[in-house]
Structure 1
């Protein structure tokens, strides 16, 4: 309970600061005191409240109507912040140049001019024609207002355009990524074994059964040897989303379809979902390993739970976090092993057991640029094929989205991983 309150409090504080900055740049700096400024202030306050309320409440079926306005505004807010911060540097430069130029003009105008001579006396310097002393320059209110409005127009139109593009990308069909991964221990007769890999489908309040069906149809069209669903399948309970997940029962693969938990399963009732996924025909790898026997040889396919289970799974049961020893120990040393693990960071531990290839998701490829730069601080591989301590790691972008229905720079993805001999 304290953790939830802490999360909500931090979220409210951060979004409040962001909206205060947006209010200053988009409302206060662009309007004069009066009705328009009051209306803009009220709208900004309402949007500041909308963000944390959306993130906290849309997991409840009765509040799902908040999802679209709340999450779309979250994306617009993010890009408004990014664009305005980027514009701060040229704006500061323009202001400094204008101030320097104005001071130069003032100095020229402040040169003393001789006053008319008094009758019978010499000329008197100074007088009414002298300019004001050089004690700074008052800004031009009209010019500053024009600059602020131009900035607001650029930021608003850019944020809206990027968000619109991102919504279209996120809601569009997943793209197919094909990658070949050489494995030193793969028998030559198994060269070309294909694993259709998908993660982060995130069935939830903004998706429907058509979203799931489209992903299943794409995977089935690949005619893969194996299907690997590497976590974050859902954002809600079985009661709320069971019918939306139903198309998963149509998944087809020559040697079976497999599933491992992601962190969002633990937020959504992991035990019920493990039972439901199994009922739909996917084999759930709960810290365990299966021998995949093909005419060309045998490969080990292992799966470990998401680390979130260490804190959120009840007791010390089978879903309480990853157990690499149970899943990977006592293997045949000459047999290649592919590990399904939701988070790329799990490869550091997997490498200790000689895993040839780990298939992961979790990162969404960053989902919205430039957020991918922050993801790199937490995960060793953000998207595509990489390596961690000698273990190859392939990270798929995910076929859905979390939070804003927006993807920029990281399109939704289903991946076909083809294993090759060296």
Structure 2
């Protein structure tokens, strides 16, 4: 039944979208090319997803198929909105003509007005915007790495850590990468920041540990700052989005994913903490396993914080920002700074600093990109280093966060 419904919706979208080309172009071959491309994309996507192997999970082929679908479907939905809106107006005009002509002029025979060329031109022009944006996102946007810098002030920051700088990346999703040179560029960009500490906040793969095999030499080039490189797990690191032959295979993959962190010189924190010491003072770096309001809840904040004093300055690594919303921001233990990722900013949105920040993901996550504050406690949601599901980024670029800690009140 679902397949029948999906086919019916697809047919309606194609018929409506075709009306634009039918109105604007009288050349028969343009119509033929339109249908060849449309049918080819649909057939390719159906073939890829019909043969989706749940024991393997997402692959570059499924990414390519989803990309093709979005590049063609989103513009067509724009065309459909214009054509459907025009049809409502045409039907209203036809009804009016029918009623008035029936009463006054029985010689009239055509009630439904022809489609207006201007409306089709306008529809095609508007649809070209997401079409161009999606293409740019696939070919350029997904590797358009940006360094986003923040300065945060804390009254109780230990004096020794005034000016302490850290780099955060999140959501590597190595199984999606397809250009070594681009990732090498990003690693060099991280190294150029020359901060005191490096942290990674989860989702090193899409599904299986082997996705990282070819990328280990690249990520080993990440310099180890004076105070180390630390990491945590994200929801994708537990191998829960594929079908395993048995529990032993799933557990073996999980062990292999944890081993990947040590292979690239990351110190993986599993519901535990370390103290970063400088000039006789310290801050606590706490790392929890994934805890998501709608995802796996393996994180144990109390366990991770054992032997951490309430008065200690604390930086918490927690993959899913919903953890901050539901368990962290109002916690009496006072976690000064939480670093998260997970949302990717939906890899689609509009951001103009100081003017607008919008993405569909904001209707799911209250905190989805950038810095948030509550009663002197801060959260940074990194927009993600890699990409997943859609092989691109539109308006929400891959991020390298650089955060500087300063002692004192917030400067205005």
TM-score (structure 2 length as normaliser):
0.78
Structure 1 contact 201–398 (Cα < 8 Å) conserved = yes
Higher relative contact order (CA 8 A, sep 6+): 2
Q: Structure 2: how far apart are the matches of 1:396 and 1:231?
A: 11
Larger Rg: 1 or 2? Answer: 1
Distance in structure 1 (CA, Å) of the matches to 2:371 and 2:295: 29
1:359 paired residue number: 339
Instruction: Give the structure 1 partner of residue 61 of structure 2.
Output: 66
Q: Aligned residue pairs: how many? A: 380
Alignment partner of 1:331 is 2:308: yes
Q: Runs of 5+ in structure 1 lacking a partner? A: 1-8, 112-130, 313-319
Partner SS, residue 244 of structure 1: helix
Q: 1:376 aligns to what SS in structure 2? A: helix
The Cα shift of 1:225 comes to 0.7
Q: Shift of the alpha carbon at 1:207? A: 2.5
Unaligned runs of 5+ in 2: 241-252, 351-356
Deviation at 1:326, TM superposition (A): 0.7
Aligned match of 1:76: 71
Matched, 1:23 2:3: no
Q: Is the 8 A contact 2:78 2:123 kept in 1?
A: no
Q: Secondary structure at the match of 2:190?
A: helix
Q: Which moved more, 1:350-359 or 1:163-172?
A: 163-172
State the shift of 1:420 in Å.
1.4
2:71 and 2:135 in contact (8 A); partners too: no
Find the counterpart in structure 2 of residue 46 from structure 1: 43
Q: Name whichever of 82-91 and 404-413 sits farther off.
A: 82-91
Residues 18 and 81 of structure 1 are in contact (CA less than 8 Å); yes or no, is this contact kept in structure 2?
Answer: no
Distance across 1 between alignment mates of 2:232 and 2:155: 25
Say whether the 8 Å CA contact 1:305–1:323 is kept in structure 2: yes
Residue of 109, 134, 146 corresponding to 1:163? 134
Task: Give the Cα separation in 1 of the matches to 2:4 and 2:239.
Answer: 23
Q: Are the aligned partners of 1:203 and 1:212 in contact in 2 as well (CA < 8 Å)? A: no
d(CA) in 1 for partners of 2:293, 2:93 = 58
Q: What's the CA shift for 1:169? A: 4.0
SS of aligned partner of 1:290: strand
**What is the CA–CA distance in structure 2 between the aligned matches of 1:311 and 1:101, rounded to whole Å?**
54
| Contact residue 285 and residue 302 of structure 1 kept, 8 A | yes
Is contact 2:154-2:406 (8 Å) kept? yes
Aligned pair partner of 2:239 in 267, 272, 295: 267
CA contact (8 A) 1:196 1:414 kept: yes
Q: Cα 1:394–1:17, aligned 2, differ >3 Å: closer, same or farther? A: farther
Structure 1 stretch 395-404 or stretch 67-76: which is displaced more?
67-76
- TM-score, normalised with respect to structure 1: 0.76
